[in-house]
């Protein structure tokens, strides 16, 4: 079963994402900060995909993705942001994050997000 880590400091958003993805048959873990996500991976959590909020209280999403990638280079990322002007940095592009991996809040088509998670889990 595909395992997903949602990193978002807004509990309502992370709970809604988790509930939808679990209904889609995915196994989900949630972290409310970058530090929490890093701690989970450091202590053995294995996930195929991380859905990363780009504005977190302790570290920005770019830094968090890079730090998680250093801990586990197999993790694939989907980015989740409410910032209309956010663009993927060259550093994130270098670890395989593409424009199609960026979702703007609020997500209007959760089925598309679930399909992206499955595609990344399958290595596509």
* Segment 8-43, tens digit of pLDDT: 999 999 999 999 999 999 999 999 999 999 999 999
Helix (H), strand (E) counts: the chain: 5, 5
Q: How many domains does the chain have?
A: 1
pLDDT at 1: 72
Strand pairing report for 27-31 and 3-7: parallel
| pLDDT tens figures, 68-122 | 999 999 999 999 999 999 999 999 999 999 999 999 999 989 999 999 999 999 8
Q: How far apart are CA 80 and CA 50, in angstroms?
A: 10
Q: Which domain holds residue 53?
A: 3-121
Q: Which three-class secondary structure state does DSSP give residue 6? A: strand
Backbone CA torsion sign across 103, 105, 108, 111: positive
Q: What CATH number has the domain bearing residue 103? A: 3.40.50.2300
pTM: 0.96
pLDDT at 124: 61
pLDDT at 58: 86
């Amino acid at each position: 079963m595909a395992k997903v880590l949602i990193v978002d400091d807004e509990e309502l958003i992370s709970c809604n994402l988790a509930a939808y993805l679990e209904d889609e048959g995915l196994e989900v873990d949630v972290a409310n900060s970058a530090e929490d996500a890093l701690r989970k991976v450091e202590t053995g959590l294995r996930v195929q995909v991380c859905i990363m909020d780009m504005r977190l209280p302790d570290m920005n999403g770019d830094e968090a993705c890079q730090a998680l990638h250093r801990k586990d280079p197999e993790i694939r990322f989907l980015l989740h942001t409410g910032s209309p002007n956010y663009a993927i940095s060259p550093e994130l592009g270098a670890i395989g994050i593409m424009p199609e991996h960026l979702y703007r809040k609020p997500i209007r088509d959760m089925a598309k997000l679930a399909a992206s998670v499955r595609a990344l889990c399958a290595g596509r």
